[in-house]
């Protein structure tokens, strides 16, 4: 029962942090557009907030894995991220744009704390019986956040202005700080030399005071684990390339909204339509979980490509909504599947680094897509969207050319992936 209360608190924190994160990107984009009128400036702020996560992910993951109280480190990262957004909000229009892009870069170093940093702490919160169910619920918080965040940004920007949207995103991130601060300590920090792995087995942990690897080695351990394991490598490469295409779609959404309706806020509502369809798709997936989540990663890229291409050809708001829904039908299951692959294949002692490093690679790819999309979209929004569709096809190609065959077994594989119902859980029930 105690683990259920802990899980509820964890989920409340993740929803607040991730909704704040998903609100901050579109809100910052709209703030840049409203304050300067320049798509390039707006996309530069968004790219700055996301590109530096390539550095932040490995560093933050290594520190989390070494910390006896990772929740407190997570809380500090959330507060610092919110502080960076506040500086941009107060200084935009009064301070040169390059300086504010620098602030966004510094804040973005902590971006993985809002995504992979939370997910890596799930085994400390959920008991053995709740871990699989908690993993499914954790995956759905991404969808809830991506549904609520852009909608909140668009609605607030339309009703009260872009600064209000940024302010609310700051408040949501800060709201998650208490939940992070109260996350439990590692078992070794509580005097327990044993821990529970994601598969539910009990494994010995190093006793306090045991010799550790130098930090500089830990900084590369997560990336090394990803590149050495064929399925982790394939899942990470595919979703990283796909997320670059998502960056293009995100930058183009407000511009598409302006083009079709005269309101940039409508574009962020398109992102919410995308997230809503992703959430529905994941609910269906939870009822009929695939035996091999790896295949879902490949199949998810195709609807995203089709949605981006349809958005490029959209001549009416209705067509744009259909395009967003189509893209969401791929994005949602793709996310749940890659989380399942990481939980299944990540070494327990490197869990935090695998999650934060993989998250940082995806966020950085998103930043590259956003940076490229700005100048392209200023020239032609349809051309930028078609570029995004092409990137999704490259992601599908990357899947086919990398990693093992789907379903290939490796020594030490666990008998069930997280999308497979564990003993005692019916496939028709939420996990």
More confident residue, 166 or 266: 166
More confident residue, 246 or 46: 246
430, part of any domain: no
How many helices (H) and strands (E) the chain has is answered by 17, 2
16, part of any domain: yes
61, part of any domain: yes
State which residues form the domain around 304.
2-185+218-401
415, part of any domain: no
CA dist., res. 364 & res. 342, Å (int)? 19
Counted residue by residue, the chain has a size of 431
Residue 158 CA, chain-centre distance (Å), reads 26
Q: What is the mean pLDDT of residues 161-188?
A: 90
What does the block give as tokens for 35?
Answer: 């304050």
Q: Which residues of 264-278 are buried (b: 16+ CB within 10 A; e: fewer)?
A: bbbbbbbbbbbbbbb
Give the CA angle between residues 55, 59, 60 to the nearest 5°: 110
pTM for this predicted structure: 0.71
What is the SS3 assignment for 194? strand
Half-sphere CA count of 228, side-chain side, radius 13 A: 10
- The 10s digit of each residue's pLDDT in 385-423 is 999 999 999 999 999 998 665 445 443 444 443 443 333
More confident residue, 127 or 68: 68
CA dist., res. 424 & res. 181, Å (int)? 33
176, part of any domain: yes
- The 10s digit of each residue's pLDDT in 297-344 is 999 999 999 999 999 999 899 999 999 999 999 988 898 888 888 878
Q: Which pLDDT score is estimated for 177?
A: 94
CA dist., res. 271 & res. 258, Å (int)? 14
Residue 2 CA, chain-centre distance (Å), reads 28
CA dist., res. 204 & res. 50, Å (int)? 37
Instruction: Name the pLDDT band for 211 (thresholds 50, 70, 90).
Output: low
Q: Which pLDDT score is estimated for 171?
A: 96
422, part of any domain: no
Residue 200 CB contacts under 8 Å (≥ 6 apart), including other chains: 128, 131
Residue 323 CB contacts under 8 Å (≥ 6 apart), including other chains: 270, 307, 308, 310, 311, 314
195, part of any domain: no
271, part of any domain: yes
Pairing of strands 202-204, 194-196: antiparallel
User: How many structural domains does the chain have?
Assistant: 1
Tell me, what CATH number does 115's domain have? Answer: 1.20.1250.20
Partnered with residue 203 across adjacent β-strands are 195
């Amino acid at each position: 029962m105690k683990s259920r209360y802990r899980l509820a608190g964890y989920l409340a924190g993740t929803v607040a942090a991730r909704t704040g994160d998903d609100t901050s990107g579109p809100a910052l984009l709209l703030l840049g557009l409203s304050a300067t009128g320049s798509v390039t400036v707006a996309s530069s702020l968004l790219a700055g907030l996301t590109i530096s996560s390539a550095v932040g992910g490995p560093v933050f993951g290594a520190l989390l894995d070494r910390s006896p109280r990772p929740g407190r480190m997570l809380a500090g990262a959330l507060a610092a991220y919110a502080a960076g957004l506040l500086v941009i909000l107060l200084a935009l229009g009064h301070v040169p744009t390059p300086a504010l892009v620098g602030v966004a870069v510094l804040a973005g170093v902590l971006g993985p704390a809002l995504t992979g940093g939370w997910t890596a702490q799930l085994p400390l919160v959920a008991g053995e019986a709740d871990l699989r169910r908690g993993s499914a619920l954790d995956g759905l918080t991404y969808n809830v956040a991506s549904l609520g965040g852009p909608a909140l940004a668009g609605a607030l920007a339309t009703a009260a202005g872009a600064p209000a949207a940024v302010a609310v995103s700051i408040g949501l991130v800060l709201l998650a700080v208490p939940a992070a601060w109260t996350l439990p300590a590692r078992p070794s920090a509580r005097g327990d030399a044993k821990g529970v792995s994601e598969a539910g087995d009990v494994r010995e942990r190093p006793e306090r005071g045991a010799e550790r690897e130098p930090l500089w080695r830990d900084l590369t351990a997560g990336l090394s684990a990803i590149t050495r394991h064929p399925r982790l490598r394939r899942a990470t490469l595919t979703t990283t390339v796909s997320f670059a295409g998502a960056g293009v779609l995100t930058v183009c959404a407000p511009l598409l909204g302006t083009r079709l309706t005269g309101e940039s806020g409508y574009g962020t509502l398109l992102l919410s339509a995308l997230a809503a369809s992703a959430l529905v798709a994941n609910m269906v997936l939870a009822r009929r979980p695939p035996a091999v989540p790896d295949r879902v990663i490949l199949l998810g890229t195709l609807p995203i490509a089709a949605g981006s291409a349809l958005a490029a050809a959209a001549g009416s708001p209705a067509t744009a909504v259909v395009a967003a829904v189509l893209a969401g039908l791929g994005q949602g299951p793709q996310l749940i599947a890659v989380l399942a692959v990481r939980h299944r294949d990540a070494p327990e002692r490197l869990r935090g680094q695998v999650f934060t490093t993989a998250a940082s690679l995806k966020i950085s790819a998103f930043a590259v897509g956003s940076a490229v999309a700005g100048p392209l979209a200023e020239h032609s929004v349809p051309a930028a969207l078609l570029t995004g569709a092409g990137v999704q096809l490259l992601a599908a190609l990357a899947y086919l050319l990398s990693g093992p065959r789907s379903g290939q077994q490796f020594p030490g594989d666990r008998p069930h992936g997280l999308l497979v119902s564990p003993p005692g859980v019916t496939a028709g029930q939420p996990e």
